[in-house]
Structure 1
């Protein structure tokens, strides 16, 4: 729920949004998709993306894919004045939503974490993996994020997904 004066910017697969307006809240719903929330604490500007798949497929510029979505978000923040050296990241989503399919969520989370590592952007918080969808609210002017678990957990199959990713941080 938004407080008085707040305005929601909802993003869907393949989209991103940035803002420095303290009344803006970027929102999205994540299953196996991943959202990276980036924040420059000095300029007090941030943004979030929402991507669907880890691999570039046939169109590497398509923002439904991890690398293109991550690059687009970083570029938008830099054009708005953010400093790459001050950016910090929070990662959310990456659930394993369908037991009879490969764990795309895990691959999405790994793709985002790998991109950030290569770019030298530290991940300061994350809530990744598991089997439950998440609702995300991100306040880009403060870097604060809030996750709400949605629905029930999917029963895990006999072979559980790897837990090599950090599943949760102390503060979001």
Structure 2
């Protein structure tokens, strides 16, 4: 968890990784994250000029301790909302934008859809309006969020070189090297 109440560092970027959240009232901070099946909730109070983002891995689960609990949606949402309230946000003014929840692997359960459904249901139950979403699909997203204004930007992430590498056949593995030698790859 990171909480800031600063205004003297222009143009800073803060990357929010899985299981973290970040809250600030600094108009110069941009929050970023990269999502696949995970979901990021961008939440802000436009009247108070404070906002934040979380990034969770699964909607619910059993966690041993607070640090592991941050991976789960229910805990991540409570942390984000409570930090915003501590910084002066008012629940009735909060607005949300949701990102992520992609189906990254076929043949496995659709964790992304579960994450997206959880986030939408949680915010509906809390009475917090969702004013923008980009949920589902099959690809990763890079998100930028300006927490004071509520502005958000998304770019899809596609690594075409990686796709080509997977598609072409691989050469056979080399024979083991002489004793004592180390090969790093």
The alignment yields a C-alpha RMSD, in angstroms, of 1.8
CA distance in 2, matches of 1:20, 1:143: 11
User: Any unmatched runs of 5+ in structure 2?
Assistant: 1-9, 164-185
Stretch deviating more after TM superposition (144-153 or 80-89) = 144-153
Aligned positions of 1:20-169 closer than 5 A: 20-59=25-64, 61=66, 62-151=69-158
Deviation readout 1:20-52 (Å, 9 max, x if unpaired): 111100100000000000010101111000000
Instruction: Give the TM-score normalised by the residue count of structure 1.
Output: 0.83
Aligned residues: 151
User: Any unmatched runs of 5+ in structure 1?
Assistant: 155-172
Deviation readout 1:52-82 (Å, 9 max, x if unpaired): 0012234485010010001100000001010
Question: Residue in 1 aligned with 2:181?
Answer: none
* CA radius of gyration, larger in: 2
CA distance 1:87–1:60, change in 2 (3 Å): farther
Question: Residue in 2 aligned with 1:166?
Answer: none
Deviation readout 1:116-166 (Å, 9 max, x if unpaired): 011000100000000010000000011000000001699xxxxxxxxxxxx
